[in-house]
Each structure stands twice: as C-alpha cells, then as structure tokens.
Amino acid sequence: MSEPSTGSGRASSGYFLGIDVGSWSTKAVLVDGHKSIAGKAMRRSGADLKAAIEECRAEVLKQASVAAEDVKRTVATGFGREVVGFADGVRTEISCHARGAFHHFPKEMTVIDIGGQDNKVIRVSQKGKHISFRMNRKCAAGTGAFLEEVALKLSIPLEQFTGLSRKSTKKLQIGSFCTVFTSTEVLSLVRKGEKKEDIVRGLLASVAARIMEMEPISGTVVITGGVIAYNPGLRDIFEQDYGLKVEVPPDPQYCGALGAALYASD
C-alpha cells in the first residue's frame, strides 16, 4: 500500500472513498483517480457506527487535504455497510477483500479474510473476479472474537500472541467447535502446566485449522483482515503446518476499504 499523500496535489479525476464498517473496527480508504491511496483511517466501530464512519471520513479527507465535495463516489462495505448514508453504492466485504487483495497481488489466488466475527475464504480468478466463497458457520470459534475472548481469560494481551507463539516448542491441539468449550480446553492445559507460549500457538493454530476445513486451500494465499494485522504469527502457522505460501498485503485490515474505494473508482 502506498503511503498517504500529504495532499500537495489533487488528482485531476477526483477522489474515491471506500468505507468498511466491520464488527470490530471501521476503516476508510481514499484513493485518487490513479488508484493511489491518498488517505486511510480506522476507528473502533463501537455502539455508534455513524460516529465512527464520520470520524474516519473526516480523517482521510484531512490527510489528503480534500473537501468532501471532491469525493466523486463512495462505496460502503462490511456488516454495517447499509449505515453509511452518504454512500453511492454498497458491495459486500467478500467482493471488496477480493478486489483489495488483487490490487496488491494481481494473480489467481485464495483470499482468507479473518475478521472480528466471521471468516471468509474467497477464490479469485486471474482477472481479479471473485469466483466462489465460503463463510464460516454461525459460530465465533476461529474468529477474532474468539481470540479476544481467550486472551481475556488468559490475561495475555492479544498483541503478545505472535511473540509468544514464535517461542513455542510444542504443538498443542486445541480445537473445539465452540468458544466456551475451547476456553475450557485452554484452562485444562493451564492446569496441566503447559507453557503459555505453547498454548498461544495452539490457539492460533486452532484458528488456522477452522479455516482450513472451510474449503480445500492451495496455491497463492493472501490473508487479509484485522486478525492477521495484529497476529502476524498466524501466517507462520499456515506456512509451517499446512505448507502454504502466504502473502499478507501491507495494512491487511484496510483491504476491504481499499477494495470498496477501487469499486468506487470504476
């Protein structure tokens, strides 16, 4: 992802805004007429989605020194896409993550979007079209919400997960279908005296395992979404345990918003 411009010059063909209202965070990406990123912003979605949306919009406009009327088109995505009242169009996060990932890696690939409340496995053609997708079942296990829940129980900040998991020397199997059961499994491991770093690796591995059972996955894999942004150690698991070649775009949590902005620019 190119760095945000300082707003020194305005692209002649105007600007295009993508807003991704996710369950955990709201993201905005502004691109210019050359599809270069002119601004990006993120806020917790919280209970006031409209405030998060407005703050993100205001921030990207400020970063690019662009007035709201210079935005020619806005596309909204994410679970709260319908809340973006000023959007000119909506696209699902499935199409937007595919589009954003293809912008960085223009080839046939499988996109794995690991979000706060759901996971998606999206197959993208060599022309950049999403040709099929799978979403996880209605269950938090294997999602960002699951990691948050367990991190809280273990009193280990999420941002320490990657560092800890990279120190792991033992592969532990954790993998119930349900977050509550998994928490019980984890507490059993704690009682058994298993090391914190092995438990954390086991947790990340359980996320990967839940995704790997959604669909046979091979070839180029691009991981997007907030979970990989904060837990880059997850990439190691996909590579070490499943032999996949994994790419992660810069700022993977912005991939959906970028895709939305690119759709806006079409």
Partner 1 sequence: MAAKRVEIRASGALKQVMALHFEEIREAAEEGKGKVAWCTSVGPAELLQAMGFRVYFPENHGAILGTSRASADFIPAAVAAGYSPEICSYLTSDVGGYLKGETPLKKLYGFKAIPRPDVLVYNTNQCRDVQDWFSFYQREFKVPLIGVSTPHPVPELEESHIKGVEEQMEALVEPLEKVAGFRLDRDALRKAVRLSRECSDLWKEVLMTGSAVPSPLTFFDECIQMGPAVVMRGRQEAVDYYRLLLDEMRQRIKDGVAAVEAEKLRLYWDGMPVWGRLRDLSELFAGLRTCVVVSTYCNSWIFDELDASRPFYSMAKAYTKLFINRTEKIKEDYIRGLVRDFKADGIIFHDSKTCPNNANSRYGMPQRFAKEGIAALVINGDLCDLRFYSDVQVKTSIEAFAEQLGEK
Residues near partner 1 (CB under 8 A) are 79, 91-95, 118, 129-135, 137-138
Nearer to partner 1, 48 or 82 (CB): 82
Shortest Å, Cβ 143 to partner 1: 12
Q: Which helix (H) or strand (E) holds 134?
A: strand 130-135
- Residue 247: which H helix or E strand, with range? strand 245-247
Q: Which residue, 64 or 109, has its beta carbon nearer to partner 1?
A: 109
Least distance from partner 1 to the Cβ atom of residue 170, Å: 35
If the CB atoms of residues 36 and 176 are measured against partner 1, the closer one turns out to be 176
CB-side exposure of 226: number of CA atoms within 13 Å? 26
Minimum separation from the CB atom of position 131 to partner 1 (A): 7
The secondary structure element, H or E, covering residue 224 is strand 220-224
The one-character DSSP state at 4 is P
Dist. CA 9–CA 38, nearest whole Å: 10
**Closest approach of Cβ 160 to partner 1, in Å?**
31
62 vs 129 by CB, closer to partner 1: 129
- C-beta of 129 vs 167, nearer to partner 1: 129
Rounded to a whole number of angstroms, the minimum distance from the CB of residue 67 to partner 1 is: 29
Alpha-carbon distance 36 to 11, whole Å? 10
Q: Please, which residues have CB within 8 angstroms of residue 186's CB and are 6 or more apart in sequence?
A: 150, 153, 154, 174, 199, 203
